[in-house]
Amino acid sequence: MATTTMAKALNAALADALADDERVLVFGEDVGKLGGVFRITDGLQARFGDKRCFDTPLAEAGIVGFAVGLAMSGLRPVVEMQFDAFAYPAFEQIASHVAKLRNRTRGALGVPMVIRVPYAGGIGGVEHHCDSSEAYYAHTPGLKVVTPATVADAYSLLREAIADPDPVVFLEPKKLYFSSAEAELPAATEPFGRAVVRRPGTDATLIAYGPAVPVALEAAEAAREEGWDLEVVDVRTIVPLDDATIAASVRRTGRCVVVSEAQGFAGVGAEIAARVQERCFHALHAPVLRVSGLDIPYPAPMLEHTHLPGVDRVLDTVARLQWDDRPDARWLPQGSAA
Amino acid sequence: MTTTPQAVRRASPRTRPPAKKPTKAPAREQAATDPAAALLPQTEPVRLLDPDGTPRPARADYPEPPVEALREMYRRMVVGRRFDTQATALTKQGRLAVYPSSRGQEACQVGAVLAVRDTDWVFPTYRESMALVSRGIDPVEVLTLLRGDWHCGYDPTRVHTAPQCTPLATQCVHAAGLAYGEAHQGRDTVALAFIGDGATSEGDFHEGVNFAAVFKAPVVFFVQNNKYAISVPLSRQTAAPSLAYKGVGYGVPSEQVDGNDPVAVLAVLTRAVAHARAGNGPYLVEAHTYRMEPHTNADDATRYRDGAEVDTWRDRDPVARLETYLRTRGALDDAAVAAIAEQAEAYAADLRERMHTQPEVDPLSLFDHVYATPTPQLVEQRELVRAELAADREDGR
């Protein structure tokens, strides 16, 4: 089995989709000759020609709106937004048209497309290059929202996204682009709507997605020294969400921490925590806790390590899971004794 | 400079009543020295009929459309106006939530759809109900959005018409993408994007025109400048000499036309569509017209414009203008006018009757088309609503 990176797996998925389906078009800013600022489209224009992989004017609403029209004509557009925060001009197109056209037309006009977004931080990027924007998309009915954390998933989920009859926002964790793993491509991993247990454990469940998955795995490894055996669930597809796998894990372990890199308030981690609480209340030995980024605009590079949830913050939170069956003092009404 | 076949063809004597020498198109003659000149609109809106229906001198650049086409245009304008009046009446009876009238814009509404083929795609806004029924779409399906039983009532793929677009100008980029996608697949489809004066201030208008130009997509952007964006006058939208001047910056040839002159609207749009279909890229047309009614039935236009202004435009009525001209040409007489009016009445009566039937809407259909296959969460919510409805029935609600 060969070692490869997530960036190369994504590139292979695009190349294989272009080769297998002539309706597929790949376009965006700098995706042609340059191969994208992260080289995800490297070599595609040379191999498939500039009618299949091409640069566009620098206008994100235009790119996504153009994709809507192409999808209406029967094609399968795959667009690249250069960075998370640069996708915001396209938000009206995404929220008002991409997400709604199938529903507006009673199913007559679906607009299958993939909007690829390099997202989240951890690479020392300056402002507007490191946003975790998944909640905006996940809060918009009609979109599927997918984020791989492994090399094999990067390939398999992207192929599935391109073949899907519905629009997919495909969030690529930038800091994992050049992470490598042994992977046989083409890979076929679990389909959309399935979360995966990345590490089995018995004492508590860490639920994570995208860039937070490696953090959760590292924390689980470090927790062994503390005597905790932690399970790690990789959500993979935020929409559709696999409530069943997540709840089954938490019922087994009885404790749960949701780990996400995004700012926490009103985020995807909050949604997952609420759903776990609804489904697992009687199996829980402690409140469901969350570890997230801070509720601040993404900080400047020299301060991002303070913002990003790391192993220590995860372990500190795991420590608060009422292991001695005593309530967490910080949640008690003032003046009452623990 | 690119010229369409129409640009050099002489008007045939049959369609040129006063035999005068064709007038010049000065801007276009400078094209050899100034590349921008070829793209600029003429300094005055193209007009082939005066407001009183008198034909103006024939011109080489815009030959008059065949009289049969103009007669059909008149018929559709009369039916369209009657439809519009009926739809406004339906709001007063509570059958429609709201209706944005296009009364006064009949030449634009009908001329645009007459200029394209059934296989071409139209990208309408919410004010294009008249254009859509003129295109032959079932008026009940057109009014579904405003009746409120669903969003888009027609199947866009069957009638080659996008859902009526409410977010301003967003349809401009769809038109560019559709047109490029059709050409990419070897089809000669043209996309016609409707847009209003206010929406030309939106970014998506500019991105749509620019994308179409860069990708040479066959799109006609048709701006109906009806002078008001709800209450905001044109002077707050642009400092350009006219909206047609917005094309030159994108390398898109443009024209302005008297939007209440049906003959000129059809002539200009016919040329624009031919330009696009011939592979020359997009074209921008601005029609100067006027919204005779308030923005919608919920608007009070007296707060921002006076009656005298409305009266000036009443004198430029496009339906009367075409009727007078066709009568002069001998293409229309009292009997024909009466027969068309009768058709329009029958059309309105049929619509009235069908709109008085309360549509059946199944609440469970809310979950059917969010995705091709509902997510597990939607399946759960569907079950919840089903149980709520069953409980309501048991309680006799």
Q: Which of B156, B178, B211 sits opposite A108 (nearest CB)?
A: B156
Residue of B28, B95, B295, B316 marked active site? B295
**Best residue of A52, A106, A235 to probe chain B, by most B CBs closer than 10 Å:** A106
Q: Which of B158, B181, B377 sits opposite A73 (nearest CB)?
A: B181
| Residue B290, CA distances (Å) to B41, B151, B233, B284, B342 in order | 20, 27, 12, 19, 27
The residue of chain A with its CA nearest to that of B120 is A73
Chain B residues lying within 8 Å of A100, measured CB to CB: 151
* Contact flag B377-A101 (C-beta cutoff 8 Å): no
Residues A190-207: pLDDT tens digits? Answer: 999 999 999 999 999 999
With a CB cutoff of 8 Å and minimum separation 6, the contacts of B395 are none
Residue B142 sits at φ, ψ, to 5 deg, of: -65, -40
| SS3 state at B268 | helix
Chain B residues lying within 8 Å of A62, measured CB to CB: 173, 176, 204, 207-208, 210-211
Q: What is the CATH number of the domain that holds A156?
A: 3.40.50.970
**Tally of structural domains, chain A:** 2
Task: Say if A306 falls within a structural domain.
Answer: yes
* Contact flag B372-A73 (C-beta cutoff 8 Å): no
Domain boundary among A182, A213, A235: A182
B58 touches B16 (CB < 8 A): yes
Q: Which amino acid is at A21?
A: D
The pLDDT value given to residue B32: 63
pLDDT at A327 over 90: no
Q: Which of B152, B214, B370 sits opposite A141 (nearest CB)?
A: B370
Residues in chain A: 338
The residue of chain A with its CA nearest to that of B179 is A69
Bridge partners of B257, per DSSP, are B46, B287
pLDDT in tens, chain B (397 residues): 334 444 333 334 444 444 455 555 555 555 567 889 999 999 999 999 999 999 999 999 999 999 999 999 999 999 999 999 999 999 999 999 999 999 999 999 999 999 999 999 999 999 999 999 999 999 999 999 999 999 999 999 999 999 999 999 999 999 999 999 999 999 999 999 999 999 999 999 999 999 999 999 999 999 999 999 999 999 999 999 999 999 999 999 999 999 999 999 999 999 999 999 999 999 999 999 999 999 998 999 999 999 999 999 999 999 999 999 999 999 999 999 999 999 999 999 999 999 998 899 999 999 999 999 999 999 999 999 999 999 999 988 7
The pLDDT value given to residue A325: 80
Nearest partner of B126 among B89, B165, B176, judged by Cα: B165
Which domain covers residue A74, as residue numbers? 3-182
Bridge partners of A230, per DSSP, are A204
Residues A214-250: pLDDT tens digits? Answer: 999 999 999 999 999 999 999 999 999 999 999 999 9
The residue of chain A with its CA nearest to that of B141 is A105
The pLDDT value given to residue B91: 95
Interatomic CA distance for residues B390 and B397, integer angstroms = 10
Residues in chain B: 397
Residues A159 and A289 in one domain: no
Instruction: Give the strand pairing for A3-5 and A180-182.
Output: antiparallel
Task: Say if A172 falls within a structural domain.
Answer: yes
Residues A172 and A293 in one domain: no
* Contact flag A105-B376 (C-beta cutoff 8 Å): no
* Contact flag A65-B210 (C-beta cutoff 8 Å): no
The residue of chain B with its CA nearest to that of A22 is B185
A108 touches A92 (CB < 8 A): no
Q: Which of B179, B184, B369 sits opposite A102 (nearest CB)?
A: B369
Residues A68 and A216 in one domain: no
Angle at A99 (CA atoms; ends A94, A101), nearest 5 degrees: 110
* Contact flag B151-A105 (C-beta cutoff 8 Å): yes
Q: What is the CATH number of the domain that holds A212?
A: 3.40.50.920
Residues A42 and A146 in one domain: yes
Chain A residues lying within 8 Å of B156, measured CB to CB: 72, 105, 108-109
| SS3 state at B106 | helix
Superfamily of domain B5-355: Thiamin diphosphate (ThDP)-binding fold, Pyr/PP domains (3.40.50.970)
The pLDDT value given to residue B9: 38
* Contact flag A59-B185 (C-beta cutoff 8 Å): no
Residue B116 sits at φ, ψ, to 5 deg, of: -110, 165
Residues A178 and A202 in one domain: no
The residue of chain B with its CA nearest to that of A56 is B211
Chain A residues lying within 8 Å of B189, measured CB to CB: 73
Strand order in the sheet with B219-225: B121-123, B191-196, B219-225, B283-288, B254-258
The pLDDT value given to residue B21: 52
Show which of residues 276-315 on chain A sit within 8 Å of chain B, judged by CB atoms: none
CA dihedral A278, A281, A284, A288 (to 10 degrees): 40
With a CB cutoff of 8 Å and minimum separation 6, the contacts of B123 are B161, B162, B165, B171, B172, B174, B175, B178, B191, B192, B193, B194
Interatomic CA distance for residues A22 and A75, integer angstroms = 8
Residues A176 and A225 in one domain: no
Q: State chain A's mean pLDDT as an integer.
A: 96
Residues A170 and A227 in one domain: no
**Best residue of B125, B165, B173 to probe chain A, by most A CBs closer than 10 Å:** B173
ipTM comes to 0.95
Instruction: Supply the DSSP string of A120-160, one letter for each residue.
Output: ---S---TTS----HHHHHTSTT-EEE---SHHHHHHHHHH
* Contact flag A73-B157 (C-beta cutoff 8 Å): no
Residue A243 sits at φ, ψ, to 5 deg, of: -60, -35
B295 annotated active-site: yes
Q: How many CB atoms lie within 10 A of CB B151?
A: 16
DSSP label of B51: T
Residues A215 and A161 in one domain: no
Nearest partner of B358 among B149, B150, B152, judged by Cα: B149
HSE, side-chain direction, 13 A CA sphere, residue B4:
24
Chain A residues lying within 8 Å of B151, measured CB to CB: 100, 103-105
Task: Say if A336 falls within a structural domain.
Answer: no
* Contact flag A68-B157 (C-beta cutoff 8 Å): no
Residue B219 sits at φ, ψ, to 5 deg, of: -125, 135
Interatomic CA distance for residues B218 and B277, integer angstroms = 6
Chain B residues lying within 8 Å of A59, measured CB to CB: 203, 207, 210-211
Q: How confident is the model over A9-31, as a mean pLDDT?
A: 98
Q: Which of B170, B189, B203 sits opposite A97 (nearest CB)?
A: B170
* A59 Cβ under 8 Å from any chain B Cβ: yes
CA distance, residue B173 to nearest chain A CA (Å): 5
* Contact flag B151-A74 (C-beta cutoff 8 Å): no
Task: Say if A28 falls within a structural domain.
Answer: yes
* Contact flag B177-A66 (C-beta cutoff 8 Å): yes
CA distance, residue A198 to nearest chain B CA (Å): 22
Task: Say if A71 falls within a structural domain.
Answer: yes
Q: How confident is the model over A29-49, as a mean pLDDT?
A: 98
Parse chain B into domains and list their residue ranges: 5-355, 363-394
Residues A17 and A95 in one domain: yes
Q: Could you tell me the pTM of the whole model?
A: 0.94
Interatomic CA distance for residues A314 and A219, integer angstroms = 7
Nearest partner of B205 among B215, B193, B189, judged by Cα: B193
Chain A residues lying within 8 Å of B180, measured CB to CB: 66, 69-70
Task: Say if A334 falls within a structural domain.
Answer: no
The pLDDT value given to residue A193: 98
B180 touches B219 (CB < 8 A): no
Q: How many CB pairs under 8 A join A and B?
A: 149
Q: Write A196-199 long-range contacts (CB < 8 A, 24+).
A: A196/A233, A196/A234, A196/A236, A196/A245, A197/A231, A197/A232, A197/A233, A197/A234, A197/A245, A197/A249, A198/A149, A198/A232, A198/A233, A198/A234, A199/A230, A199/A231, A199/A232
Residues A125 and A203 in one domain: no
Chain A residues lying within 8 Å of B369, measured CB to CB: 102-103, 105-107
Domain boundary among A154, A182, A210: A182
Residues A156 and A201 in one domain: no
Element (H, E) at B309: helix B307-314
Task: Say if A187 falls within a structural domain.
Answer: no
Residue of A129, A139, A285, A307 marked active site? A129
The pLDDT value given to residue A26: 98
Residues A23 and A163 in one domain: yes
Structure tokens given for B202: 């939106």
B304 annotated active-site: yes
Bridge partners of B196, per DSSP, are B224
Domain boundary among A148, A182, A216: A182
DSSP label of A84: G
The pLDDT value given to residue B13: 40
**Best residue of B178, B210, B221 to probe chain A, by most A CBs closer than 10 Å:** B178
Task: Say if A190 falls within a structural domain.
Answer: no
